[in-house]
């Protein structure tokens, strides 16, 4: 594989010294970019775009052609794993993901299986290999998966949800059934992420998008414990380097100390928690990623710069910070505002690394 020309992101993940604060954006290959929209139209659908290694490579690299980002992230979707379990996943225009065969009973769970990363999910591994070749060592490639709890919410609800009535009903009424579902998903995600590393991913991220809807007790029992199980089974060294793992629970700032004990190298932080406060709470145990409100990118460049400055000052001097948004970039953001954000991080952050 190619020698890495810019490993700032990987070093920051491991709290090693860096000349500046690296930056990338969740959902950086997405609908805010006109070139992405054109490629997606060519693909025919979102799912076909994910399943075409050549086009997935094209859209992964699009933001890197525009912006001096410090990492690339695999273009895929968190629902690829349950999508490979014969649940009839489709993406309905205007309403997001839908499972035609949702998981509602113990018998439904019994029918599930751990997908083969080089079988049912080979299209993802082909994309990882293709992207890694195309990057040619420019920046590291981040692979990812959804957390077992987050995947289960979609599988049980059958689509996105605001109330999570069915999955929480299962949690309280049939906890042993939910536990079996989460265990199957934890084993599936572990294999899936390890296969991404073998195919060329140089860092990994688990998106626990819906962990924040749980009570503290249920977060530990039904989300955090299964992510810790995954971390214990992950390949942590590959190609002579540590493979950092990022854990991001949206809305999970109250549980940072617990997250820091899971074996993750980096904790993602959304915009509801001050990053300086987060650093005080976890100390030097883990690096932190975040955490600008994505809506700041609707402001003018001077205001964006001021917000970047504020977050850098809050984190303070030293390493262990990967600058990012607190969640994915919005589809209606002007790409020029994203450019202003990235430029501000690169311009203002070296003062904190002397």
State the Cα–Cα distance between residues 288 and 266, nearest whole angstrom: 5
Looking at the domain assignment, is residue 60 inside a domain?
Answer: yes
Phi, psi of 340 (to 5 degrees): -65, -40
Q: Rounded mean pLDDT of 307-311?
A: 98
In this prediction, residue 3 carries a pLDDT of 86
Give the mean pLDDT of the chain: 97
Helix (H) or strand (E) holding 306: helix 301-315
Total H helices, total E strands in the chain: 16, 11
DSSP H helical segments within 175-274, as ranges? 175-199, 216-219, 225-233, 256-259
Looking at the domain assignment, is residue 241 inside a domain?
Answer: yes
Percent of the chain beyond pLDDT 70?
99
- Split at pLDDT 50, 70, 90, the class of 94 is confident
Q: Over the stretch 60-77, which tens digit does the pLDDT of each residue have?
A: 999 999 999 999 999 999
In this prediction, residue 95 carries a pLDDT of 72
Looking at the domain assignment, is residue 115 inside a domain?
Answer: yes
Q: What pairing do the DSSP bridges indicate for beta strands 245-249 and 241-242?
A: unpaired
Looking at the domain assignment, is residue 31 inside a domain?
Answer: yes
Looking at the domain assignment, is residue 320 inside a domain?
Answer: yes
In this prediction, residue 2 carries a pLDDT of 66
Looking at the domain assignment, is residue 291 inside a domain?
Answer: yes
Query: What is the model's pTM?
Result: 0.97
Q: Which string of DSSP letters, residue by residue, matches 259-304? A: HTTTT-SEEE--TTS-HHHHHHHHTTSSEEEEEE-GGGGGS-HHHH
Percent of the chain beyond pLDDT 90?
97
State the Cα–Cα distance between residues 125 and 201, nearest whole angstrom: 10
Catalytic residues: 27, 31, 40, 77, 154
Domain that holds residue 251: 8-353
Q: Rounded mean pLDDT of 112-126?
A: 98
Looking at the domain assignment, is residue 3 inside a domain?
Answer: no
The tally of domains found in the chain comes to 1
CATH number at residue 150: 3.20.20.210
Q: Rounded mean pLDDT of 84-90?
A: 95
Looking at the domain assignment, is residue 202 inside a domain?
Answer: yes
Q: Over the stretch 163-222, which tens digit does the pLDDT of each residue have?
A: 999 999 999 999 999 999 999 999 999 999 999 999 999 999 999 999 999 999 999 999
Q: Rounded mean pLDDT of 315-329?
A: 98
In this prediction, residue 93 carries a pLDDT of 75
| pLDDT exceeds cutoff 70 at 12 | yes
pLDDT: which is higher, 94 or 290:
290
Show binding-site residues for substrate. 27-31, 77, 154, 209, 327
């Amino acid at each position: 594989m190619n020698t890495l020309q810019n490993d700032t992101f990987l070093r920051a993940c491991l709290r090693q010294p860096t000349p500046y604060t690296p930056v990338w954006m969740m959902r950086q290959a997405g609908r805010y970019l006109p070139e992405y929209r054109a490629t997606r139209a060519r693909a025919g659908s979102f799912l076909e775009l994910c399943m075409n290694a050549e086009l997935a490579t094209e859209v992964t690299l699009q933001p890197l052609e525009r912006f001096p980002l410090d990492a690339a992230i695999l273009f895929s979707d968190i629902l690829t794993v349950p999508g490979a379990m014969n649940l009839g996943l489709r993406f309905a225009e205007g309403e997001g993901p839908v499972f035609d065969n949702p998981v509602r009973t113990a018998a439904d769970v019994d029918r599930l299986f751990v997908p083969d990363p080089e079988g049912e999910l080979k299209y993802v591994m082909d994309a990882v290999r293709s992207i890694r070749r195309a990057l040619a060592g420019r920046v590291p490639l981040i692979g990812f998966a959804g957390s077992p709890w987050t995947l289960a919410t979609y599988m049980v609800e059958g689509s996105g949800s605001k109330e999570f009535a069915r999955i929480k009903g299962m949690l309280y009424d049939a906890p042993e059934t939910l536990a079996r579902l989460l265990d199957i998903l934890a084993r599936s995600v572990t294999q899936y992420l390890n296969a991404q590393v073998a195919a060329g991913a140089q860092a990994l991220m688990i998106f626990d998008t819906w962990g924040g809807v749980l009570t503290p007790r249920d977060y530990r029992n039904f989300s955090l414990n299964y992510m810790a199980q995954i971390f214990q089974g992950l390949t942590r060294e590959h190609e002579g380097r540590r493979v950092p793992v990022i854990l991001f629970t949206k809305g999970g700032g109250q549980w940072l100390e617990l997250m820091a004990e899971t074996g993750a190298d980096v904790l993602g932080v959304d915009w509801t928690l001050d990053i300086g406060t987060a650093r005080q709470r976890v100390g030097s145990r883990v690096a932190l990623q975040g955490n600008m409100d994505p809506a700041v990118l609707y402001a003018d460049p001077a205001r964006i710069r001021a917000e970047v400055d504020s977050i850098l000052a809050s984190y303070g001097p030293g390493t262990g910070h990967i600058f990012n948004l607190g969640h994915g970039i919005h589809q209606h953001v002007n790409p020029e505002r994203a450019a202003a954000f990235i430029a501000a991080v690169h311009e203002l952050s070296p003062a904190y690394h002397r």
